């Protein structure tokens, strides 16, 4: 890294000659929050399978123009392609891009391995997504040295063992570390010393602050506040008139480099779910029911894999005009089976009444999660336990033989009939027969 930013925020550690060991440890601990963000993670994992595509525009997304971009290489991003963008729009911006189907199981495995490396540095790891986490390494400096050295060694290890790259920001708190990692991308490392924090933030656009979306940014710039330094210098009452009292105080604190939130080592997942955008808008109720069944099984499988149960079920429905409805219901007993997820999701769909137009997207979510071991109260009729046991057995079959060998009859494809079976007096097997 070079230029003014590097001079302000050097990558190397600089020990004062007259500094005592105790003072040195105190200085390292005062600036020991890391934000580690894997670079184009999904694309990076896919390129391990297809190294000949390195240096080319690559988009990871499910096939079909109605799907969205999961990740894009930096070559594709140069054309304006971004995660979350409709695939049709991405193809229009970058028609020469190579489209790769996602392999979610591989992403989960590489994420697990990356997080395990983080855990070897410190117990204070707060995973915030599949490919990024905060680390508080203040307790490891006596053993491993300054945080910037740890970050440099961590990045080298990730690349050597996994073939992936990571960008790391280091600062006095989570906000500074997060912004620093963003400013160091791709494949970079940026240390913001405590005395440089205010100057580092001041020149950034207001959108750089965590939580400032398009609407808030428009409101701030409309009031003449274009940089983080402008926010830092504006009295809180004046900010409150622009974005509201709570947001005004919050942004003023962040702009001045103050963020008291600790790195929380266990981030409890608030919900798990699955959703599907249809290739063509759907009106047929039978298609919607079958989709709910499929989504319920995908969601329930994730619940069981993570050892969780849900006390609330949510439904998401998006119409052809992009109007989106969300409904949920709280349950008397926690559930983990697809059968019960489907029952409640179907009930929520029925409660919406007659649909005014065709459906573009349907989703199911399991919410208010708790460890399955803590959910000791059994259902009165034992039905949840019976369905749960049956689906756990199905999980074991899927793990050994694949997901297409066993499942709800409505979701399995019939096996083509053997034309000679009747003459032999043998019935052809039919997966999916009721």
Q: In which region does residue 106 sit, left (phi positive, over 0), alpha (psi from -120 to 50) or beta (all else)?
A: alpha
Q: DSSP readout, 107-143? A: HHHHHHHHHHHHHHH-S-EEEEETTEEEEE-GGGHHH
Asked which of 1-5, 123-127, 271-275, 283-287 is least confident by mean pLDDT, the reply is 1-5
Binding-site residues, please? 37, 131
Enter the DSSP assignment of 414.
P
Answer for the pair 73, 61: CB distance below 8 angstroms, yes or no.
Answer: no
- What is the pairing mode between strands 189-191 and 166-171? parallel
Token pair listed for 236 = 């809180």
User: Residue 43: helix, strand or coil by DSSP?
Assistant: helix
- What is the four-CA torsion angle of 120, 122, 124, 128, rounded to 10 degrees? -50
Closest to 368 (Cα-Cα) out of 296, 273, 269, 294: 269
Token pair listed for 329 = 């219901």
Active site residues: 132
Closest to 288 (Cα-Cα) out of 270, 276, 274, 304: 276
- What is the pairing mode between strands 98-100 and 125-129? unpaired
Binding-site residues for Mg(2+), please? 37, 131
The yes-or-no verdict on residue 390 having pLDDT over 80 is no
- Separation CA 166–CA 37 (nearest Å): 6
- What is the pairing mode between strands 308-319 and 324-335? antiparallel
Query: What pLDDT shows up at residue 131?
Result: 92
For 138-182, write each residue's pLDDT tens digit: 999 999 999 999 999 999 999 999 999 999 999 999 999 999 999
- What is the pairing mode between strands 324-335 and 359-371? unpaired
Q: Name the band, by pLDDT with cuts 50, 70 and 90, for residue 321.
A: confident
Query: What pLDDT shows up at residue 143?
Result: 92
Share of the chain above pLDDT 90, in %: 58
User: Residue 20: helix, strand or coil by DSSP?
Assistant: coil
Enter the DSSP assignment of 425.
T
- Which residues are paired to 319 by β-bridges? 359
Query: What pLDDT shows up at residue 64?
Result: 72
Token pair listed for 215 = 């609407």
- Separation CA 378–CA 383 (nearest Å): 9
* Backbone phi and psi for residue 9, each to the nearest 5 degrees, phi listed first: -130, 75
For 207-227, write each residue's pLDDT tens digit: 998 778 788 889 999 999 999
Query: What pLDDT shows up at residue 215?
Result: 83
Domains assigned to the chain: 1-194 (3.30.70.270), 203-255 (1.10.150.20), 271-403 (3.30.1490.100)
Q: DSSP readout, 316-382? A: EEEETT--EEEEEEEEEEEE--HHHHHHHHHHHHHHT-S-SS-EEEEEEEEEEEEEGGG--PPPTTS
Contacts with 192 (C-beta within 8 Å, 6 or more apart), sequence order: 9, 31, 169, 170, 171, 172, 176, 177, 180, 200
């Amino acid at each position: 890294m070079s230029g003014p930013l590097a001079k302000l925020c050097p990558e190397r550690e600089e020990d004062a000659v007259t500094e005592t060991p105790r003072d040195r440890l105190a200085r390292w601990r005062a600036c020991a929050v890391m934000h580690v963000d894997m670079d184009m993670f999904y694309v990076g994992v896919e390129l391990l399978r297809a190294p000949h595509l390195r240096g080319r525009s690559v988009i990871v997304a499910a096939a079909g123009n109605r799907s969205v971009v999961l990740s894009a290489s930096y070559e594709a991003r140069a054309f304006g392609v971004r995660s979350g963008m409709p695939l049709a729009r991405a193809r229009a911006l970058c028609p020469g891009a190579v489209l790769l189907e996602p392999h979610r199981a591989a992403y989960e495995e590489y994420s697990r391995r990356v997080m395990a490396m983080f855990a070897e540095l410190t117990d204070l790891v707060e995973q915030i997504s599949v490919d990024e986490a905060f680390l508080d390494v203040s307790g490891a400096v006596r053993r491993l040295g300054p945080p910037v050295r740890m970050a440099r060694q961590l990045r080298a290890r990730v690349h050597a063992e996994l073939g992936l790259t990571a960008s790391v920001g280091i600062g006095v708190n989570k906000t500074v570390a997060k912004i620093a990692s963003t400013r160091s991308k791709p494949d970079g490392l940026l240390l913001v010393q405590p005395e440089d924090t205010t100057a580092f933030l001041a020149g950034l656009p207001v959108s750089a602050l965590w939580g400032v979306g398009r609407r808030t940014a428009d409101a701030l710039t409309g009031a003449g506040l274009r940089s983080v330094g402008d926010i830092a210098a504006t009295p809180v009452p004046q900010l409150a008139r622009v974005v509201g009292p709570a947001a005004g105080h919050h942004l003023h604190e962040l702009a001045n480099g103050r963020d008291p939130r600790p790195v929380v080592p266990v981030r409890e997942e608030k919900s798990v779910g699955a959703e599907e955008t249809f290739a063509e808008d759907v009106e047929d109720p039978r298609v919607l029911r079958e989709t709910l069944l499929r989504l319920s099984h995908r969601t329930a499988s994730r619940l069981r894999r993570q050892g969780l149960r849900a006390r609330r079920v949510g439904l998401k429905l998006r119409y052809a005009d992009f109007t989106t409805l969300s409904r949920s219901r709280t349950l008397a007993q926690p559930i983990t089976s697809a059968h019960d997820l489907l029952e409640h999701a179907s009930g929520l769909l029925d409660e919406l009444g007659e649909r005014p137009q065709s459906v573009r997207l349907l989703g199911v979510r399991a919410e208010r999660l708790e460890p399955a071991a803590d959910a000791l109260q059994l259902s009165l009729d034992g039905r949840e336990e019976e369905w749960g046991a049956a689906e756990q057995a199905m999980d074991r079959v899927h793990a050994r033989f694949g997901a297409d060998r066993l499942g709800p009859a409505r979701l399995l494809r019939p096996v083509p009939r053997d034309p000679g079976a009747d003459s032999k007096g043998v019935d052809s097997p039919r997966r999916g027969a009721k």
